[in-house]
Amino acid sequence: MAGATDITLEQALEAIAAARAKAQEQGTLMDIAIVDAGANLKAFVRMDDAFLGSIDICIKKAKTARLFNMPTGTLGGLAQPGAPLYHIEFSNDGLITFPGGLPLKNADGTIIGAIGVSGSSVEDDNAVAEAGANAVLLAKLAPAHA
């Protein structure tokens, strides 16, 4: 059973549903990945006809956001030539350092996983990831049973 510091399957599915709804609102086709607190894949969906190449990208965006506990776009700013983390994307079996990956936090602000989205522009990807992240943050879940 997932603890208070790890995303539950229900939370992961809620994030995917909210992200998918945002993608449909945009008219975009997305691949959406959720990783748990340990950066392990928890849930994934590929919308019909979404890019095959975006599967790996969305998973790596989610993992990157969790491994560094920051949005992938923020890390990307630190990874530019001359910046302190230049070439970090070559670590950890490959990272993605452009927008579309966000840490997922519970109502207490604890990071419990991350979401990664790919399939359109980085602006669209990030907006879809934000919709998924907000769904987890705002979710009111029943207390866990022992």
pLDDT tens string 32-41? 999 999 999 9
**What CA–CA distance (Å, rounded) separates 117 from 105?**
17
Torsion of CA 10, 12, 14, 19, to 10 degrees: -170
Domain ranges of the chain: 9-138
pLDDT tens string 64-98? 999 999 999 999 999 999 999 999 999 998 999 99
**What CA–CA distance (Å, rounded) separates 65 from 103?**
5
For 9-138, the fitting CATH number among 3.90.190.10, 3.30.450.150, 3.40.50.11900, 3.50.50.60 is 3.30.450.150
Tell me, what's the pLDDT at 3? 53
Helices (H) and strands (E) in the chain, counts: 4, 4
Tell me, what's the pLDDT at 1? 39
pLDDT at residue 55 greater than cutoff 50: yes
User: Could you tell me which of 65, 78, 83 has the C-alpha nearest to residue 126?
Assistant: 65
Tell me, what's the pLDDT at 145? 42
27: alpha, beta or left, given left = phi > 0 and alpha = psi -120 to 50?
left
Tell me, what's the pLDDT at 140? 54
- Average model confidence (pLDDT) for the chain? 92
Number of residues that make up the chain: 146
Greater confidence, 11 or 4?
A: 11
